[in-house]
Amino acid sequence: MQLFPCPFCGLRDEREFHFAGEVGKTRPKTSEPVSDADWNTYLNTQRNEKGAAREIWCHVTCQEYFVMERDTVSMDVLETVALRKEPS
């Protein structure tokens, strides 16, 4: 088991977190027609970088989203940054 640091709750069991996507991934504009291939790429394709990666995670217990930078090789968490400045 690994502990992840939620910016609002502190260290918690990794099973309390949900991966929400890679930082910088651009959602296709839905105001215009989107091809199935483009939508599939958006939903299912990840860069899966080796080494430091910035990802959006949700702590399911507090329902807060945040950016976690972690090393995908060592699994070390390098930094977490809240997406919302103030806890509710």
Site residues (vs Zn ion, CB under 5 A):
6, 8-9, 59, 62
The minimum distance between CB 3 and Zn ion, in angstroms, equals 12
Question: Are 69 and 79 within 8 A, CB to CB?
Answer: yes
**Residue with Cβ nearer Zn ion (53 or 57):** 57
Residue 40 CA, chain-centre distance (Å), reads 19
The minimum distance between CB 18 and Zn ion, in angstroms, equals 12
**Residue with Cβ nearer Zn ion (12 or 54):** 12
**Residue with Cβ nearer Zn ion (6 or 53):** 6
The minimum distance between CB 84 and Zn ion, in angstroms, equals 11
Cα–Cα distance, 70 to 28 (Å, whole number): 26
- By 3-state DSSP, what share of the chain in percent is helix, strand and coil, each rounded to 5? 15, 40, 45
